């Protein structure tokens, strides 16, 4: 099992960062994903407050991954698991949001996954970089709001 941990700090208060995490339609504006694929997603909330059990399909390039929200502890903890991915399996991730002393938010995005034999070294490098860009994007976008 491989793992990663990414950290970033946003000047935005925790509830604002939380709102972006819940709203799957916002992800293409701040993350590494190109598009939310609506016809492959299920249980999305019209108000952008997706709940436990919602599946979100995201396209990055030609690859579509599907993830299911597994736990929510507003506005502190957001957990999800991979349902379908061409690159990794047994994927589970947690995003934890902690208040900073200045009123901002520390974002800690961590996960574990399995990669196909022969691609582990490459996937470890890719996942660490991509997930750091995800955390950085969430921090910078929420700070600019």
SS3 1: coil
- Domains contained in the chain, number: 1
Which of 89, 125, 95 lies closest to 110 in space, CA to CA? 95
Which of 28, 20, 73 lies closest to 48 in space, CA to CA? 20
Which of 49, 112, 44 lies closest to 36 in space, CA to CA? 44
SS3 54: coil
Q: On the CB side of 41, how many CA atoms lie within 13 Å of its CA?
A: 20
CATH number at residue 21: 3.30.530.20
Each residue's pLDDT tens digit, 39-77: 999 999 999 999 999 999 999 999 999 999 999 999 999
Each residue's pLDDT tens digit, 108-118: 999 999 998 88
Query: pTM for the whole thing?
Result: 0.94
Starting at the edge strand found earlier in the chain, the sheet holding 35-36 runs 2-10, 105-115, 88-99, 77-84, 63-73, 55-60, 35-36
Mean model confidence pLDDT for the chain: 95
SS3 20: helix
Domain range holding 11? 2-144
């Amino acid at each position: 099992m491989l793992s990663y941990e990414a950290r970033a700090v946003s000047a935005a208060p925790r509830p604002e960062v939380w709102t972006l995490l819940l709203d799957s339609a916002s992800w293409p504006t701040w993350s590494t994903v190109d598009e939310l694929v609506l016809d492959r997603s299920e249980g999305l909330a019209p108000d952008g407050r997706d709940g436990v059990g919602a599946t979100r399909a995201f396209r990055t390039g030609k690859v579509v991954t599907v993830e299911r929200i597994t736990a929510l502890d507003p506005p502190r903890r957001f957990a999800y698991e991979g349902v379908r991915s061409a690159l990794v399996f047994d994927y589970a991730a947690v995003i934890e949001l902690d208040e900073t002393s200045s009123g901002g938010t520390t974002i800690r995005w961590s996960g574990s996954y399995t990669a196909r034999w022969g691609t582990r070294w490459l996937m470890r490098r890719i996942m660490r970089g991509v997930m750091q860009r995800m955390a950085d994007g969430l921090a910078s976008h929420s700070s600019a709001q």
